Amino acid sequence: MRIHVVRPGESVYSIAQQYRVSPQKIISDNELSNPNQLVIGQTLVILEETISHAVAPGESVYLIANQYGVSVNELLAANPQITNPALIYPGQVITIPPRTIDFGSIHVNGYAFPNINMNILRRTLPYLTYLSIFSYQVTTDGSLTSIPDEPLIQAAREARVAPLMVITNIQEGGGFNSDIAHAVLTNRQAQDNLINNITTTLREKNYYGLDIDFEYIYPYDRESYNNFLRRVVEALRPLGYIISTALAPKISADQPGLLYEAHDYPIHGDLVDHVIIMTYEWGYTYGPPMAVAPLDQVRRVLDYAVTAIPPEKIMMGIPNYGYVWTLPYTPGTAATTISNPGAVDLARREGAIIQYDQTAQAPFFTYYGDDGKQREVWFEDARSILAKLSLANEFGLGGISYWTIGRYFPQNWLVLNEVYDIIKVL
């Protein structure tokens, strides 16, 4: 696999010639919506095939390996007939192996809303270990709102993907609610009701396990949350269910803030099977323009996380979206969400050049709208996805988790499938 960044004057056809693959393969693999109009700075994932090379006069194993971007050892491994690397001759045909990256095996989770397009879901399921269906909302007495999750569960199991039930402290028609969490975490009867309702739902809906996504918990409810997790694990693990929790992206144990303080990394790491760290939303709807998941900031979170949680239990969050901001940024104004392929299409329509921030390891561009105002767009591409997957490999993490899989992003799945073997637990 190679990731090609489009340069001025290039076309799908010239790029295909460069890598000795068919133009149609590049178009098909990347699902290009407008292959005749590439964007400068756009990425293309090139899935190479084995190439036969006829040795030219004066060529050496080293020069040929360098020409194709493979190591000498890789070249020799693909050509066991070469017993003496110093002795190759003009006209000799040798095999050039495709350039590969092998990070081993990994768990992959994807969050999905019940109203996800079922075609997108089915196309995505082959790349997932778990499908987390978002979400059952918890009420103050431990009741659960109902969601139409049956079609997703059935599709997941048919694809050998383990469906996970997600519970949240989201209030009806609103966002995460600290008071709902407090009411449940400090009332044993409410917890009994909730655990009974969870157990019944897991059994009746044929779920594989539970994901607890309680956010914005009052700091003084930290130990109450820990105790609740202990009760959930004690109830569900003997029944054969796995338990995961979603955690805020902390960089230290004592990080202040309502989002962070009640999330006790060591306790979660000790109790549950997986922790999903929400390493995104540095660039967010009401904030200033920046990468959604800048790699340098994600690294800071992981630097702390692996000291508190076994790395094999950690699933690193990856965003599957970008944002469009209006400039100059004014606090309180909202950015609009955009899909990653949609961002490239927008750059093409506006004649923008895609740039790449080396620190954040993320693509971005600017343009002027019809209203005369400048816009700034940050999103993900094949480069940024590979950078994130490489970081997960560097830290020896057990998994990654996408928020959300509702927008299909072909390059993400191409890159993931090339560098990792996706674990299936069903």
User: How many Å apart are CA 238 and CA 253, to the nearest integer?
Assistant: 30
CATH code of 105-317+382-422, in short, is 3.20.20.80
Which amino acid does the sequence have at 249?
P
* Average pLDDT rounded to a whole number, residues 47-75: 90
Per-residue pLDDT band at 100 (split at 50, 70, 90)? confident
pLDDT of residue 67: 86
Can you give the pTM of this predicted structure?
A: 0.93
Q: What is the tens place of the pLDDT at every residue in 111-120? A: 999 999 999 9
pLDDT of residue 257: 97
Buried b (16+ CB within 10 A) or exposed e, 130-153: bbbbbbbbbbbebebeebebeebb
Q: What is the tens place of the pLDDT at every residue in 380-407? A: 999 999 999 999 999 999 999 999 999 9
Domains 2-96 and 105-317+382-422 belong to one CATH topology: no
Per-residue pLDDT band at 334 (split at 50, 70, 90)? very high
The residues assigned a catalytic role are 215
pLDDT of residue 296: 98
- Domain coordinates in residue numbering, the chain: 2-96, 105-317+382-422
Per-residue pLDDT band at 194 (split at 50, 70, 90)? very high
pLDDT of residue 12: 98
Q: What is the tens place of the pLDDT at every residue in 141-177? A: 999 999 999 999 999 999 999 999 999 999 998 999 9
Alpha helices in 215-366 (DSSP H): 222-236, 265-271, 295-308, 340-350
Per CATH, the architecture of 2-96 is what? Roll (3.10)
Strand partners, 109: 130, 401
Is pLDDT of 107 > 90? yes
